[in-house]
Structure 1
Amino acid sequence: MILLKLAPITSIAQAQAMLETAINVEFGTLPPYLYAQLTILPGSNGPALARLQSITHQEMIHLCLAANILNALGGSPKLSPPTYPGPLPGDIGHDGKVLTLHILPFGKPAMQQGMNIEMPVDPIDFPQLKTLAAAPLVKAVTIGQFYEALDAYLKTLPATAWQAGRNQIADKQFFPGQLFAVNNYADAHKAIQVIISEGEGTSTDPLDFGKELAHFYRFEEIYRNQVLTSSDSPQGFSWGGPLGVDYDKVFPAIADPQLHDFSKEPPAAREAQAACTIAYSAMVDSLNLALNGNTAQLGIAVRKMFDLRMAAIQALHAPLTDKHKVAGPAFIYKKI
């Protein structure tokens, strides 16, 4: 779960710093989610793949919405690619323990990690229509509470604090109907509610505002290999039939490729990693420009995401020296 220390917000500068942290938290979840998605063997695990794709898509929207709020308050977003394994940005942890994220191939550990990141304060305990072991759930401060504290402060700001139309991303080509400009508190409140709803749901409903399962429960469906379906239970939902997850249908990809020494690997594996690094770095640079007013760069960033996917496919088909292993993208950033 994402755990952020909540300090009282007393200035716009503090709100800007919180938003900068939020943007990089959203961005920092993307490599772990993408790695799990990319390492699914083609033609397999369709329902799980669809859930992961929708989550990564929405995380990009959350990133842009948080950046829109920051820009409307006069800030300047900056993506800072994290190291894996390592923490997400900010005071993230519980009882003095920092949440360390790993880059993991598709499997139960990767889905458990996704649940840990997206976990609500009080996850709903749905009745079992099939007996399966449930992951242990822990109550703590989450990213949702972080955004709620931010929202409470933003509500107190005068209308003059907002700079309408400043560096807003409201691109209809790539995120139609989902990404909108933030010009005032009402817009910021709407954006924050979307981010919270899609990530965690609510304390009584696993669905977001779009009537789709929140991220936490989509990860839990994959983890349990069960579909969460509407029922006449008091919670309104129950764990039902199998989702169709096959954890054997996965590339034999190594975990935490940033820790791997590719200099000792075959040329094809080295070249694929180099291509992944170039595409990932170019994507980060384009996103940084797009978030700071150069909206034409958003389309370039999307194309670089496609380049990264193509390079990842090459990497996943290039055996390492241990010919039973491959490596997906290491998500290493190098200034181009």
Structure 2
Amino acid sequence: MSALHWDITHLRQHLQYAIQLEYWTVPFYMCAMYSIKDPTSDAFKLLQSIAHQEMLHMQLACNVANAFDTEIDEVQVFATPAYVGTQVPHLQFTDGELNRDPFDPSLSYRPYSAELGPLDEPRINAMCLIEYPEIDSGEPPQLKENVSEYSSIGQFYQAVLFGAGQLADQIRGNLNQVDHFSRFYQGFPDQTITLDGRPGYAQVTRLVNAITDQGEGVRRSNEVPPDYRNTADGFNNSQDHFDKFNLIKSLTQRPECYSGVANPPPGSEGARAQQILIEQFKRFRADLVSEFNGHHSPNFGPNMASLGGAFLNCWKNGALPRLA
């Protein structure tokens, strides 16, 4: 397959990986957020606003994937994510041919860690790298046969839009579309794909632009467009994720955070808290698979809220949160 001529298999693989990446960020950001002892702090509120939008991004990515009849299952898409070393799914923060920016962003944000942990320097640096914007050069996107060769989420989504445009005739509207968040966005009420073909591609473009303009993509400006700002419960709504994480990084005094051990003694409150989180995350994953395959999950909202409580329960009992 030529890099300039996509087939539907390649596009669907990209869309599966887009969902995986958005899904991966949710526990990573929530874990750091709930490590903060003061939920009234700016750092907590900034992270909370980002975590909420990552749930939106996962929904939008799933809606685009379903419009192309992409398989969304518990094995290929919603498996329990791994948090190991510096490995962020499908991204390489490197210089040279894989990076279009004039310098390697990882040089500015080091050390960084992709392991679950508290809000500390390595986690903040990883968050900045994940949300590092792709500069809008006006050139065609770099297209990769290997979906793990993108240096930024912005570059990745530019390629997705390019491939989706080539295959727009395969878009089918109203296929397993989900809308949990439009009530939070007065300027962005249409968060699903309802039209077939080329008209549907205009909707696809709007959904992808919402993802990238909120924090993960082309740096068209220093502000999130008004249409994509949370109008209900957001915080610093004009700032994208990259700017919000850099604001946290620049705080002269960061909030006090809990600490935890990876392996609390068997039978301890910490060990029990970890097991509760593991079981709660299993329910959350099952809800996601059900929701995005056209089966309403009535406990999705309560289970999402309980997931946050389970992260906090681990921290309060001196245990490092874990998902498996």
In the alignment, what sits opposite 2:21? 25
CA distance 1:7–1:303, shift in 2 (3 Å):
farther
Which whole-Å CA distance do the structure 2 matches of 1:176 and 1:310 have between them?
A: 25
- Deviations along 1:62-111, one digit per CA (max 9) or x if unpaired, are 11111111111111223122212153333645369999611120122221
2:210 to 176, 180, 194: 194
Matched, 1:40 2:49: no
Which whole-Å CA distance do the structure 1 matches of 2:285 and 2:13 have between them?
A: 20
Matched, 1:180 2:196: no
3-state SS of 1:23 partner: helix
Which whole-Å CA distance do the structure 2 matches of 1:121 and 1:313 have between them?
A: 34
* Offset, 1:37: 0.3
Aligned length: 275
* Offset, 1:190: 0.3
Matched, 1:207 2:223: yes
* Offset, 1:301: 2.5
CA distance 1:11–1:279, shift in 2 (3 Å):
same
User: 1:260-299 to 2 correspondence within 5 Å?
Assistant: 260-262=262-264, 264-294=265-295, 296-297=296-297, 299=298
Could you tell me whether the CA contact under 8 Å between 1:201 and 1:214 is conserved in 2? Answer: no
Which whole-Å CA distance do the structure 2 matches of 1:15 and 1:111 have between them?
A: 31
User: 1:120-199 to 2 correspondence within 5 Å?
Assistant: 120-122=133-135, 141-159=151-169, 161-171=170-180, 177=186, 180-183=191-194, 184-199=200-215
Letter of the aligned partner of 1:113 in structure 2? A
* Offset, 1:154: 1.6
Could you tell me whether the CA contact under 8 Å between 2:192 and 2:203 is conserved in 1? Answer: yes
CA distance 1:265–1:185, shift in 2 (3 Å):
same
CA distance 1:7–1:79, shift in 2 (3 Å):
farther
Letter of the aligned partner of 1:168 in structure 2? Q
In the alignment, what sits opposite 1:113? 126
In the alignment, what sits opposite 1:126? none
- Deviations along 1:202-244, one digit per CA (max 9) or x if unpaired, are 435221123611101100001011xxxxxxxxxxxxxxxx6xx
User: 1:212-251 to 2 correspondence within 5 Å?
Assistant: 212-225=238-251, 245-247=253-255, 249-251=256-258
Which whole-Å CA distance do the structure 1 matches of 2:308 and 2:88 have between them?
A: 23
CA distance 1:92–1:7, shift in 2 (3 Å):
farther
Which whole-Å CA distance do the structure 2 matches of 1:66 and 1:37 have between them?
A: 23
3-state SS of 1:155 partner: helix
Letter of the aligned partner of 2:271 in structure 1? R
Which whole-Å CA distance do the structure 1 matches of 2:69 and 2:254 have between them?
A: 48
CA distance 1:88–1:194, shift in 2 (3 Å):
same
- Deviations along 1:145-202, one digit per CA (max 9) or x if unpaired, are 111111122223344x111111000235875555611131011000111111111464
In the alignment, what sits opposite 1:103? 116
In the alignment, what sits opposite 1:90? 90
Which whole-Å CA distance do the structure 1 matches of 2:132 and 2:90 have between them?
A: 17
TM-score (norm: length of structure 1): 0.74
In the alignment, what sits opposite 1:323? none
- Deviations along 1:111-150, one digit per CA (max 9) or x if unpaired, are 1111011111349xxxxxxxxxxxxxxxx83111111111
Where structure 2 has 5 or more consecutive residues not aligned to the other structure, the ranges are 99-103, 107-111, 137-149, 195-199, 230-237
Could you tell me whether the CA contact under 8 Å between 1:198 and 1:208 is conserved in 2? Answer: yes
Which whole-Å CA distance do the structure 2 matches of 1:29 and 1:266 have between them?
A: 30
Which whole-Å CA distance do the structure 1 matches of 2:270 and 2:306 have between them?
A: 16
Identity of aligned residues (%): 24
Which whole-Å CA distance do the structure 2 matches of 1:62 and 1:28 have between them?
A: 11
Where structure 1 has 5 or more consecutive residues not aligned to the other structure, the ranges are 1-5, 124-139, 226-241, 255-259, 319-325
CA distance 1:279–1:218, shift in 2 (3 Å):
same
3-state SS of 2:299 partner: helix
Which whole-Å CA distance do the structure 1 matches of 2:30 and 2:69 have between them?
A: 31
In the alignment, what sits opposite 2:310? 311
Q: CA RMSD in A?
A: 2.8
